[in-house]
Chain A
Amino acid sequence: MNTLIYTSALGLLCMLAEMANLRKLILPIAVLGLCVIFGFNVADWGKNAGFYHNMVVIDNYSVAFSGLLLLLGIFITLLAGNFYKNEESKISDYLAIIIFTLSGALALVSFGNMAMFFLGIEVLSISLYILAGSKKKELRSNEAGMKYFLMGSFASGILLFGIALIYGETGSFDLGQIAAYTAAVHPSVLFTLGVGMILVGMLFKVSAAPFHFWAPDVYEGSPTLTTAFMATVAKIAAFAAFYRLFSSCFIVSIPSYAWVLSAVAVLTIIIGNFTALNQDSFKRMLAFSGISHAGYLLLGILSLYGNTANAVFFYSVAYGISSIAAFSIAIVVAQNTGSEKIEAFNGLGKKKPMLAAALTIAMLSMAGIPPFAGFFGKYFIFSEAIRNGHLGLTIVAVINSIVGVYYYMKVVLAMYTKDSNEPVIKLKPAYSLVIAVCVALILLLGIFPSLLSNLL
């Protein structure tokens, strides 16, 4: 509970700092504040409590995901200082929006009520619409903001319709009472329909196929830092909410939608992977690979009756830190070369061997090669899927991870086998710190996965 309140308060503080003319201090305050909140969050471990008539429910699941989201938030905030250096007058606005987004994400992992769930989704989405369109004078950014807004509000509408139907059937927004209803009464058609609409809304938010069309354009058009934010914090929060919602009260409807979910998972993995193959733009490639990662995570949702929270959490951690590492290196490279294409990475292996090695590790981790964190993420998801009887789906997923290797290695190839005349890249300390911490975590979790794999 503290986590959510303090984060919102920190966001307000950032806005107020603008008035008090504390622009220079705002970044350290935000980072420090988030670190302190991370500490409060850890202190909540092992508590099980509901607040405000169960609007917010704190349990180990919410604490674990809050911790992950806060960590990713800290990384993004650290990167933001340099990323917005040309717009110093607006830094407090940006930071405030980033932190508000984070509070929305935190609400999404700790809700105990449909109203809170919807509130979380909206706080998260509306802040992201603004961030996506934040480069006012760039057409691509405007397009991204507009597209994201139109598609996102459409999805929110469907989601809300679903919630209304559920309310009509069960007479409550409270997850506990909905669960009690499903235990007592055989779910009616309207209930199942409501779950279906929520499902569509959530699939939209996590950019699963065939609801993924907004993602590549929005990811590519948005400023890279926002893309990193959307690809990690927003996607993980949406997945955590998806899992929480379905595991706590819609578990009865999973069988009715099993084939839909299976089809969506397969489609998402295949479309994400095969479209990523032909991309020249690094951001766009990561966007499509993010779609395929959503597909792998859907395997975890599909088998959630077998309690796959651990697998989903571990996968999210591995995906989150690997993506942050990749995106921060992409930002550094793009700032120096002015290009977001894969060719921009040419010759990085000679010019900046450590940076190239870091990106190689991030890519290998995303491709799921041991001994990096991403491998265990995939391993846990696959083994849960097999345990719950989805052998066929797992084989499709495995074949697709091979395809994944192809485009991840394309970047590695560019770094090591091609040359370029671009000048040597300068690295800001904040970026070095974030990249070093991410790589250290990827290695640590790859060698000692037990640190996190039994948390939940």
Chain B
Amino acid sequence: MLLIILLFLPLVFALFTYLSGDRYAKYVALAGGAATFVACILFKRPFMQGGLNPITYAHAWITNPAISFSLSLDGLSFMLVALTTFLVPLIIFTTYRKEIDNAKSFFSLVLLMEFGLLGVFLASDGFLFYVFWELALIPIYFIALLWGENQDAAFRQRAIFKFFVYTLAGSLFMLLGFIYLYQHVGSFSISALYGSALSDNEQSILFWAFFLAFAIKIPVFPFHTWQPDTYKESPSAGTMLLAGIMLKMGIYGLLRWLLPIAPHGVALWTPLVLVFAVIGVIYGSVIAIKQDDLKKLLAYSSFAHVGLITAGVFTLTREGFQGAAVQMFAHGFNVVGLFFAAEIILQRTGTLSISQLGGIRNVAPKFAACFILVVLASVALPTTNAFIGEFLLLYGVYEYNTWLAAIAGLTIILGAVYMLRMYQLVMLGETNSLTASFEDLNWKEMLVFVFITIAIFEFGLAPKMMMNMMQPSLDLILNYSLR
């Protein structure tokens, strides 16, 4: 029953937010986000002790086809729910300074999206998963479309529309996959689907039906073409939602639904996916080096990072799984920090063009310190959270194939190249007319960075707790995936 409250809190607060009017919407939304985070923390205890039993809730929903409203919270889901419920209020908080048109709609859409995201991470019925998966898409579509800041509205509409159609296309194939499974298994419940015995050929078809949906969402090369423009054109809060949380839906989907349900299909296509993923890592990094637009650079870097996460998942090794889980958690915080820094720069200088910036450190030392911390976390410096993840991921890939690991390992070098080059051009050097009046961080902005820095070092120095929480669920998934 508590699970239901956790899931529906954002929805209830979305309604309150809408009713509270433009003036108070921000505060109500923030309170809603915070309340959901508190509700989430209440579930922490059993997972801290490494408990294997998920907390579940089930209620009959639709009789024919048999679909139940069943939720399940295990260690893996808990980490993602915690990530979501932590980041959403933080993202709401980052907008405190902006005057947002029609704020009540904006913030209720953010909370509505949180509702969809929580549903995706909690659902233990395939159909329910699909419904929440789509539900999370509609709010972000409107957020990106209506509150994007770029001047060229026609371009923005095209970019966002491409994103919408692309992801919807992927998910419709997933729906076909679920229908196909239902015809063969007679149930949508995750346990029945895990126990399904399908022929290799059927699993191969299923693999593509699901993989398309997840690969587009993550995005994996070559399904990524919607991503850079969408990240750039969305308002910063939207980009943070997309990169920080939404793409985890895809990785979570791979782990929770694709690998255990169609292990033979996965085994068949693993080499291809790994090659795609590694190409994505290199390709994203190389393009990131050439970018002049800060948000686009971050978009490509995020694309490169998730390529490595995908590779880790598909190695089907314990380390690969651990790395993927740790890294998707870490990536959530780091990417939000990076896009927040970009937002601050955009607000104060009015540009994101790296070549026009420079010397910000001279006028804003606090900002420079915070920014470098996030940049270093993102290039996986030891003691930061991303280091653990990236190390485990590369170890996993190494176990699968040495050469592949060698190529994927270039990400560390390339990542350092584009991130530090960006930092150097933006923050160091001579102060110019654009950056001369750069105002340093105020306490509210500091607070956001403090939260993110705590996350970076807490999970970088003591990853054990988080890994213990997820380990039972990951082992279970690994067992099913190696059937």
Write the residues of chain A forming the contact surface with B, with a CB cutoff of 8 angstroms: 364, 369-371, 375, 379, 382-383, 386-387, 391, 394-395, 398-399, 401-402, 405-406, 409, 413, 416-417, 448-450, 453-454
| Contact A450 B62, beta carbon cutoff 8 Å | yes
| Contact A417 B165, beta carbon cutoff 8 Å | no
| Contact B138 A405, beta carbon cutoff 8 Å | no
Query: Min CB distance, A382 to chain B, in Å?
Result: 6
Q: Which residues of A contact B65 (CB under 8 A)?
A: 383
| Contact A405 B164, beta carbon cutoff 8 Å | yes
| Contact A453 B64, beta carbon cutoff 8 Å | yes
Query: Min CB distance, B126 to chain A, in Å?
Result: 12
Q: Does B134 lie at the interface of the complex (its beta carbon under 8 Å from any beta carbon of A)?
A: yes
**Distance between Cα atoms of A295 and B157 in the complex (Å):** 30
| Contact B176 A454, beta carbon cutoff 8 Å | no
**Which residues B113-168 have CB closer than 8 A to chain A?**
130-131, 134-135, 138, 142, 145-146, 153, 157, 161, 164-165, 168
| Contact A364 B169, beta carbon cutoff 8 Å | no
Query: Min CB distance, B198 to chain A, in Å?
Result: 14
Known contacts A416-B146, A449-B62; is A406 also within 8 Å of B165 by CB? yes
Known contacts A398-B173, A402-B169; is A450 also within 8 Å of B146 by CB? no
| Contact B175 A379, beta carbon cutoff 8 Å | yes
**Distance between Cα atoms of A395 and B180 in the complex (Å):** 11
**Distance between Cα atoms of A294 and B326 in the complex (Å):** 49
**What are the 7 tightest A-B residue pairs by CB atom distance, in nearest-first order?**
A370-B131, A402-B169, A383-B179, A450-B62, A370-B134, A398-B172, A450-B63
| Contact B176 A398, beta carbon cutoff 8 Å | yes
Q: What are 22 sample pairs from A and B whose C-beta atoms fall under 8 A apart?
A: A364-B138, A369-B168, A383-B179, A383-B182, A383-B183, A386-B179, A387-B183, A394-B176, A395-B176, A398-B173, A401-B172, A402-B165, A402-B169, A405-B168, A409-B164, A413-B145, A413-B157, A413-B161, A416-B146, A417-B145, A417-B153, A453-B62
What residue in chain B is nearest A391 (Cβ atoms)?
A: B180
**Distance between Cα atoms of A420 and B311 in the complex (Å):** 49
Identify B138's interface contact among A369, A379, A398, CB under 8 A. A369
Q: Which residues of B contact A395 (CB under 8 A)?
A: 176
Query: Min CB distance, B119 to chain A, in Å?
Result: 11
**Which residues B85-131 have CB closer than 8 A to chain A?**
130-131
Query: Min CB distance, B148 to chain A, in Å?
Result: 10
Known contacts A369-B168, A450-B64; is A386 also within 8 Å of B183 by CB? yes
Q: Which residues of B contact A369 (CB under 8 A)?
A: 134, 138, 168
B-side interface mostly: helix
**Distance between Cα atoms of A387 and B180 in the complex (Å):** 8
Count residues of chain B with CB under 8 A from any CB of chain A. 28
Query: Min CB distance, B446 to chain A, in Å?
Result: 36
Known contacts A371-B131, A402-B168; is A416 also within 8 Å of B62 by CB? no
| Contact B63 A454, beta carbon cutoff 8 Å | yes
Known: A383-B65, A383-B179, A383-B182. 18 other contacts (CB 8 A): A369-B134, A369-B168, A370-B135, A371-B131, A379-B179, A383-B183, A386-B179, A386-B183, A394-B176, A398-B175, A402-B168, A405-B168, A406-B161, A409-B161, A416-B145, A450-B62, A453-B64, A454-B63
Identify A416's interface contact among B130, B142, B168, CB under 8 A. B142
Q: Which residues of B contact A453 (CB under 8 A)?
A: 62-64
**Distance between Cα atoms of A364 and B165 in the complex (Å):** 13
Query: Min CB distance, A403 to chain B, in Å?
Result: 9
**Distance between Cα atoms of A413 and B154 in the complex (Å):** 11
Known contacts A370-B130, A402-B165, A402-B172; is A382 also within 8 Å of B179 by CB? yes
What residue in chain A is nearest B61 (Cβ atoms)?
A: A450
What residue in chain B is nearest A376 (Cβ atoms)?
A: B62
Q: Which residues of B contact A405 (CB under 8 A)?
A: 164-165, 168
Q: Which residues of A contact B135 (CB under 8 A)?
A: 370-371
Q: Which residues of A contact B145 (CB under 8 A)?
A: 413, 416-417
Chain A CB within 10 Å, residue with most, of B130, B131, B146: B131
Q: Which residues of B contact A402 (CB under 8 A)?
A: 165, 168-169, 172
**Distance between Cα atoms of A65 and B7 in the complex (Å):** 37
**Which residues B197-214 have CB closer than 8 A to chain A?**
none
What residue in chain B is nearest A451 (Cβ atoms)?
A: B62
Q: Which residues of B contact A401 (CB under 8 A)?
A: 172
Query: Min CB distance, A418 to chain B, in Å?
Result: 9
**Distance between Cα atoms of A438 and B471 in the complex (Å):** 48
What residue in chain A is nearest B166 (Cβ atoms)?
A: A402
**Distance between Cα atoms of A103 and B165 in the complex (Å):** 42
Q: Which residues of B contact A387 (CB under 8 A)?
A: 183
What residue in chain B is nearest A417 (Cβ atoms)?
A: B157
**Distance between Cα atoms of A394 and B179 in the complex (Å):** 11
What residue in chain B is nearest A449 (Cβ atoms)?
A: B62
Q: Which residues of A contact B63 (CB under 8 A)?
A: 450, 453-454
Q: Which residues of A contact B146 (CB under 8 A)?
A: 416-417
Query: Min CB distance, B189 to chain A, in Å?
Result: 16
Q: Which residues of B contact A386 (CB under 8 A)?
A: 176, 179-180, 183
**Distance between Cα atoms of A417 and B159 in the complex (Å):** 14
**Which residues B61-85 have CB closer than 8 A to chain A?**
61-65
Query: Min CB distance, A124 to chain B, in Å?
Result: 32
What residue in chain B is nearest A367 (Cβ atoms)?
A: B168
**Distance between Cα atoms of A386 and B61 in the complex (Å):** 23
Query: Min CB distance, B164 to chain A, in Å?
Result: 7
Q: Which residues of A contact B165 (CB under 8 A)?
A: 402, 405-406
Chain B CB within 10 Å, residue with most, of A370, A382, A454: A370
Q: Which residues of B contact A450 (CB under 8 A)?
A: 61-64
What residue in chain B is nearest A403 (Cβ atoms)?
A: B165
Identify A382's interface contact among B64, B153, B168, B176, CB under 8 A. B176
**Distance between Cα atoms of A386 and B178 in the complex (Å):** 11
Query: Min CB distance, A57 to chain B, in Å?
Result: 26
What residue in chain A is nearest B130 (Cβ atoms)?
A: A370
Chain B CB within 10 Å, residue with most, of A364, A371, A383, A413: A383
Q: Which residues of A contact B169 (CB under 8 A)?
A: 399, 402
Query: Min CB distance, B249 to chain A, in Å?
Result: 15
Query: Min CB distance, B84 to chain A, in Å?
Result: 20
**Distance between Cα atoms of A379 and B164 in the complex (Å):** 20
What residue in chain A is nearest B101 (Cβ atoms)?
A: A350
Q: Which residues of B contact A406 (CB under 8 A)?
A: 161, 165
**Distance between Cα atoms of A207 and B374 in the complex (Å):** 60
What residue in chain A is nearest B172 (Cβ atoms)?
A: A398
**Distance between Cα atoms of A157 and B142 in the complex (Å):** 50
Q: Which residues of A contact B168 (CB under 8 A)?
A: 369, 402, 405
Query: Min CB distance, A311 to chain B, in Å?
Result: 11
What residue in chain A is nearest B169 (Cβ atoms)?
A: A402
**Distance between Cα atoms of A311 and B254 in the complex (Å):** 31
Q: Which residues of B contact A370 (CB under 8 A)?
A: 130-131, 134-135
Query: Min CB distance, B49 to chain A, in Å?
Result: 37
**Distance between Cα atoms of A279 and B320 in the complex (Å):** 50
Q: Which residues of A contact B176 (CB under 8 A)?
A: 382, 386, 394-395, 398
**Distance between Cα atoms of A383 and B176 in the complex (Å):** 8
**Distance between Cα atoms of A454 and B176 in the complex (Å):** 21
Query: Min CB distance, B100 to chain A, in Å?
Result: 15
Query: Min CB distance, B142 to chain A, in Å?
Result: 7
**Distance between Cα atoms of A392 and B134 in the complex (Å):** 24
Chain A CB within 10 Å, residue with most, of B63, B130, B168: B168
Q: Which residues of B contact A394 (CB under 8 A)?
A: 176
**Distance between Cα atoms of A413 and B161 in the complex (Å):** 9
What residue in chain A is nearest B127 (Cβ atoms)?
A: A379
Query: Min CB distance, B8 to chain A, in Å?
Result: 13
Q: Which residues of A contact B131 (CB under 8 A)?
A: 370-371
**Distance between Cα atoms of A14 and B151 in the complex (Å):** 58
Q: Which residues of B contact A416 (CB under 8 A)?
A: 142, 145-146
Query: Min CB distance, A146 to chain B, in Å?
Result: 39
